[in-house]
Structure 1
């Protein structure tokens, strides 16, 4: 069986949460006899079309971007060419350009869409896009939500309950080999005190500005891995308020990230808006057996992190609540260990990439 995945970006151009999910599905379903192709946009389509972990990453020329949406003239032909070879087309929502390509292609293949997120930021443009969006969602055969929480709280998904199923996102532990001893030693010497870790792109909905306000109310170290459009303003705030316990580490190699996950006291994830639909970084923390702190935003974050079981869930946009949770886990070693063990159990039970891949392989077969 051949499956074509279609999304606006993919490796090597970008490798964020959706891209990592596509990669895990493509890699994991191979053992079920599924051959995967991925089509995305790129400013350098020739150079960036290549093989990746047993599947093919194809590119069409990116012409322009507007409101986080990439547009391409070339993609219509590339999609037609690749979809004709596929048994199933697997879309990854949201991306309005994808809807247009699908609806104009007169596709005669079974279709699945993984619904990663509602459109939250572009509310004005959403009103213009809604007719196209619903026409697209009505036309596909199956819709996959990434958590029962999101399926229950998304007004859009509620309209398509009859063809929506839930398949949680998962990660492969084999992609996270233990950190070399010298790397761990280097980080342990640099940060000898207990610390909490954040990993993610520094975007508006990640709530890092709220975390910095919380950091003013605790002496515990907070390490931030990642870069992004909010970085300059966040650094300026930390400097202005002399937050010596906040450390911006930028983007790090995987071995360094793994070392810090292993060494951390806990994981803090302050995303405060529904744009954070799941939070794969939380799955990483659970995989490493770390207690988690997150916010209740009605999405998959509270599916990964269960309050008082795998960590603590606080109100969104609440610096005092975040600070209180950080201090509680930092000061209660036994409780932190218990939450961490239960987070690890939750990963093994619900968030392994092999389980996700198996669910998708079974979904592909009946559709095809």
Structure 2
């Protein structure tokens, strides 16, 4: 069902984004990327429309700079929502669009691509390999390879992921790299008093983890590191592992670890401004980029992450913007935290470097310019002209 009106302003092109969930239902890394992308490219005259699924499609949601259509989920299998209604809706929206922009991984979008029977230019932002469903991946691979072969361009979010992904190496001749970018102006402004309240509560210096508490976030490693270092750590966010992680911290009597649960956007910004450093121990390739790291860099904070061959080590450069450690290594994670804690000048320099790297590589404006160029290239290609698009 349609949730927001089409833009009435003149636009150069209409882009249809396709992903399994979107605002207002969820706000993970991919949803944040689509939001930032849609907001930034709207300034370049692009009319963005997002097609997603929802168990309870809502009415009245208007993100302002783009429009959203939600189709009712018919069933969900292996974290993949499916909708019978979406097939006809996709065909209609694809017919109205100039270009289709898929966000991978979402196997049902692969099916929509072929069932939609459109001849529009296509690209895929390849956010992550399929990591968790290893056995189902074998059954899905033929469709996945056919889908990725059929689209016109594939966009990875970091050069690191291109090098380390066997799937992307298979299609290397049509892969571009466009890092995820953020617009600081899209974040709420907060008062210094609200920032100070967190420091009064947790101390002038504390480490901050922000994110959904999922299996690949390395939270068990973080708790073990907390036990070794006894440094103050604030965990903001909730998720599938929330209850078990809190129980483990309680059993280990980790009074230096503070769980806040879900926080608002205002509270998140306050915490990012108040914290000493951002710690991000994700240990699986499901963590393909790490927007929380990017948010830390945007707020001039030194960063700690794990080297997992993904974009996290593109955002966080060792000894330039912070420290990287091997995954699932609590002693080395604790040592990295202690190094930053004991060397404030070094930590401050890393934070300044992180912000400089953010402004050079990771702004929403730079991301929008890169996608706009790719869109134009696809729309002006001889193949597009021959198809009569």
TM-score (structure 1 length as normaliser): 0.98
Deviations 1:160-194, CA, capped at 9 Å, x for gaps: 11110000001110022432133123212211241
Q: Does 1:17 align with 2:23?
A: no
What is the CA-CA distance between 1:354 and the residue it aligns to?
0.7
Deviations 1:58-88, CA, capped at 9 Å, x for gaps: 0111112121111110000110010100000
Contact 2:283 2:328 in 1 (8 A): yes
Q: Which residue of 1 aligns with 2:315?
A: 304
Contact 1:94 1:117 in 2 (8 A): yes
Between the aligned partners of 1:87 and 1:180, the Cα distance in structure 2 is 43
Q: Which residue of 1 aligns with 2:285?
A: 274
Q: Which residue of 2 aligns with 1:55?
A: 66
Q: Does 1:173 align with 2:178?
A: no
> Which stretch of the first structure deviates more once superposed, 191-200 or 338-347?
191-200
Structure 2 residue corresponding to 1:202, chosen from 210, 213, 224: 213
Q: Which residue of 2 aligns with 1:340?
A: 351
What is the CA-CA distance between 1:49 and the residue it aligns to?
6.3
Q: Which residues in structure 2 correspond to 1:115-154 (within 5 Å)?
A: 115-154=126-165
What is the CA-CA distance between 1:42 and the residue it aligns to?
0.9
Q: Does 1:238 align with 2:216?
A: no
Between the aligned partners of 2:75 and 2:257, the Cα distance in structure 1 is 37
Between the aligned partners of 1:316 and 1:147, the Cα distance in structure 2 is 19
SS at match of 2:258: strand
Q: Which residue of 1 aligns with 2:383?
A: none
* Misfit runs of 4+, over 3 Å: none
TM-score (structure 2 length as normaliser): 0.93
Q: Does 1:291 align with 2:318?
A: no
Contact 1:115 1:143 in 2 (8 A): yes
Between the aligned partners of 2:201 and 2:154, the Cα distance in structure 1 is 46
Between the aligned partners of 2:71 and 2:350, the Cα distance in structure 1 is 45
SS at match of 2:96: coil
Deviations 1:229-262, CA, capped at 9 Å, x for gaps: 0011101110000000000001111221111111
Contact 1:12 1:48 in 2 (8 A): no
Structure 2 residue corresponding to 1:102, chosen from 113, 118, 121: 113
Q: How many residues align?
A: 367
SS at match of 1:52: coil
Between the aligned partners of 1:166 and 1:137, the Cα distance in structure 2 is 16
Between the aligned partners of 1:294 and 1:25, the Cα distance in structure 2 is 25
Between the aligned partners of 1:48 and 1:339, the Cα distance in structure 2 is 45
Contact 1:42 1:48 in 2 (8 A): no
What is the CA-CA distance between 1:48 and the residue it aligns to?
4.2
Q: Does 1:187 align with 2:198?
A: yes
Question: What's the C-alpha RMSD, in Å, of the aligned pairs?
Answer: 1.0
Between the aligned partners of 1:131 and 1:185, the Cα distance in structure 2 is 54
Cα distance change on mapping 1:360 and 1:82 into 2, 3 Å: same
Q: Does 1:254 align with 2:265?
A: yes
Between the aligned partners of 2:158 and 2:180, the Cα distance in structure 1 is 8
Q: Which residue of 2 aligns with 1:75?
A: 86
Between the aligned partners of 1:177 and 1:323, the Cα distance in structure 2 is 32
Deviations 1:119-160, CA, capped at 9 Å, x for gaps: 000000000000000000000000000000001110000011
Q: Which residue of 2 aligns with 1:363?
A: 374
Between the aligned partners of 2:47 and 2:266, the Cα distance in structure 1 is 30
SS at match of 1:260: helix
